[in-house]
Chain A
Amino acid sequence: MSTVLLVSQLLNGLQLGLVLFLVAAGLTLVFGVMDFINLAHGVQYMLGAYLVAMCVGFTGHFGLGLLLGLIGALVLGIVLEWLVFRHLTRRDHLEQVLGTFGVILVVTEGVRMIFGTAPLAMPMPVALSGSVTLFPGLNYPVWRLVIIAVGLAVAGLLWFLVHRTRLGMLVRAGSTHPGIVSALGVNIDRLFLFVFAFGAMLAGLAGAMAGPLVSVEPTMGDNVLIIAFVVVVIGGIGSIKGAFVGALAVGLVDTLGRAFAVDLLRLVMDRSAAATAGPALSSMLIYVLMALVLGLRPSGLFGPKKA
């Protein structure tokens, strides 16, 4: 195993982790602050990718299209909150799951009717579509570096918002003591709307960032949603810091598992057995990680200590 390969796999893991963080950040806020299970979060990721792809196509300019697409994602988040989620926040979890699952079906089918089943092309700036030589022997795609930069920037911004602003204070308080926050005269509904719309926009951003890498299609959010829930559970529900650490852990474990599981197993078993066992092992590694974390810390790495 060469250093170059290891470094490039670490970068890959970091990049995957940061995309997951963008999705999981909104999910964990909504889950933690509102005690609301939003299965439709993956749909917002998908909508973000579609909106940005469409806006970039219309305007012919990537930056402008991205901005318009994100505003669109924010507006759609507000509309969904107003139409559906507002009426579910005070219901129990089963009803939330049913309601938001319905949203998945309706929105996915709607997108299919408008755009068709065929995957969409995501135009991207030519300057960002190639690869650069980081050091001799290591070529790395520019777009993945952009994702890493954007992910880190959003993480910094979120840290500032949550820990250094009044709004963030309310969000933190709301995630642990919603009753008290409400009793102190904070309009909790407006707080929810804000958190929800912001989360939707982050999911949209994640979709837009992933668009040039993956196939933009109606069901693209489904897989991501499951992994994002794993991240939220590992990090601890409601914790942005947890989402960040959890996302990086999942991204790195998944990538390194896929990269090295077969090679490592070859040390202890023969070639063909390793070729079969490796992929099986690497695809369940993140769930093993989740089980381990839950075994040691039942409320996740940075979850609230519920009495």
Chain B
Amino acid sequence: MFSVRTGLLAALSLALCSALALAEPVKVGFVATLSGPSAPLGVHMRNGFQLAVKELGGQLGGQPTEVIVVDDELKPDVAVSKVKGLLDRDKVDVIAGVVFSNVMMAISKPVFENETVLISGNAGPSPLAGKGCSPYFFAASYQNDQVHEIMGKYAQDQGFKRVVLMTPNYQAGKDAMAGFKRHFKGEVAEEILTPLGQLDFSAEIAKIQAANPDALFTFMPGGMGVNLVKQYAQAGLTTKIPFLSSFTIDETTLPATQEASIGMLSGANWAPNIDTPENKAFVAAFEKEYGIVPSLYAAQGYDAAKMIDGALKATGGKVSDKAAFRKALASAPFKSVRGDFSIGKNGFPLQDFYVVKPVKRADGKYETVTVSKVFDNMTDAYAAECPLK
């Protein structure tokens, strides 16, 4: 009796094993910030990715797909240990996601050393775009500087002569100022650096009011941006000193700022109103599935999944042939919700960038709409330094 049962079990497990081996399922390790004040960004990006996988019938490239989602907690050390687990224990074929650049920098080394493909759903730090570019890195998003450059170019085109810059006091904040100044040739009246996580901007707003510039440029991600937008509007400055921003006004913060954000501007590579059939279908499906308006993070997550899907279709569903998989990814074999989209030699996309503004829709929800296109099919500033062919 005992031996019969053991034999059955053994046969069953053998059959299971071989069935799994035949199907060659695709395993994607998805890294996102899902806890803490910045969690909405990670939630949007993950939802976008999972929506695409769901629409493709739980498959990428025609292969059954398992997506293992991990929370990086916005801590580089936590991210590294979880990513090592994904690589060593789960043996994932692709790592995707990542909202923040410091997390991306921390995990890039172990992922590249493991010769695994890394697809960014948001973070685009400059070291990975220039000299430190890698054949294993692809971005479905943008290079960080580009979004700040949009606003610098816009300010220059509008003929603004004097601006005040305000960002949090950390590396990304200083990068934002540098990105803005790349295309803005006027005078920077003041550069204000605020502590990370600042709640009350009254002192800074009074300073801006006193400096009376032609415009304000700010980069205040997450909750800080919500605080600033509300307080700037309450001070009645929106109509007096144009509010130009990056990563401050999008569909992750609009539910909180609502009316206060009207009249302010932001830079983006995507907005819900971009007129492609893919985008219309994506926005409708996302709202139906999650009940919220998608943000650019959601769109990028969605595109990241479609990018993997397209590349796997090109290689006949095989994930084991990494060279062919990388070559396929580099050709960006999918239709982006953003329309024009190709991959440059450093793995970063060439795409269009827009100035966007928030509007209230007929159903009472808020979303961004494009105001004007600032850059057409733009390459990032670091691509030339990348030694890859």
Residue positions of A touching B, CB distance < 8 A: 2, 4-5, 8-9, 12-13, 15-16, 112, 117-121, 129-131, 139-144, 210, 212-217, 219-220, 223-224, 255-256, 258-259, 262, 275-276, 278-280, 283
Contact = CB atoms under 8 A, between A and B. Distances in A.
Contacts of B292: 118
Contact of B226 (A13, A214, A219, A278): A214
A4 B199 contact: no
Contacts of A131: 234-236
B191 A214 contact: no
Given A118-B252, A120-B256, A258 B204 contact: yes
A120 to B, nearest CB: 6
Nearest to B226: A215
From DSSP, what is the main secondary structure of chain A's interface residues? helix
B99 to A, nearest CB: 13
A130 B256 contact: no
Interface string B12-54: 0000000000000000000000111101100100000000000
B207 A224 contact: no
Contacts of A13: 203
A118 B293 CA distance: 12
A139 B253 CA distance: 26
B195 A214 contact: no
A275 B234 contact: no
B122 interface: no
B194 A259 contact: no
Contact of A259 (B207, B226, B227): B207
Interface in B249-290: 252-253, 255-258
B200 A214 contact: yes
A159 to B, nearest CB: 25
Contacts of B207: 5, 259
Interface in B297-323: none
Contact of A279 (B193, B224, B230, B258): B193
B372 interface: no
Interface in B204-250: 204, 206-207, 209-210, 222-224, 226-227, 230-231, 233-236
Contact of B203 (A2, A139, A214, A255): A255
B202 interface: yes
A118 B252 CA distance: 7
Given A121-B258, A143-B234, A255-B202, 12 more contacts: A4-B210, A117-B40, A120-B255, A129-B233, A141-B236, A213-B199, A213-B230, A215-B224, A215-B226, A215-B256, A255-B200, A275-B193
A16 B197 contact: no
Contacts of A217: 37, 223, 256
B195 A283 contact: yes
B295 to A, nearest CB: 10
A16 B234 contact: no
Contacts of B226: 119, 214-215
B169 interface: yes
B162 to A, nearest CB: 16
Contacts of B197: 223
A117 B43 contact: yes
20 contacts: A5-B207, A5-B209, A12-B206, A13-B203, A117-B43, A119-B223, A119-B226, A119-B256, A121-B255, A130-B234, A131-B234, A131-B236, A141-B236, A214-B223, A215-B256, A224-B199, A259-B203, A259-B207, A278-B193, A279-B169
A5 B206 contact: yes
A5 B235 CA distance: 14
A119 B37 CA distance: 8
Nearest to A259: B203
A224 B200 CA distance: 11
A163 B153 CA distance: 62
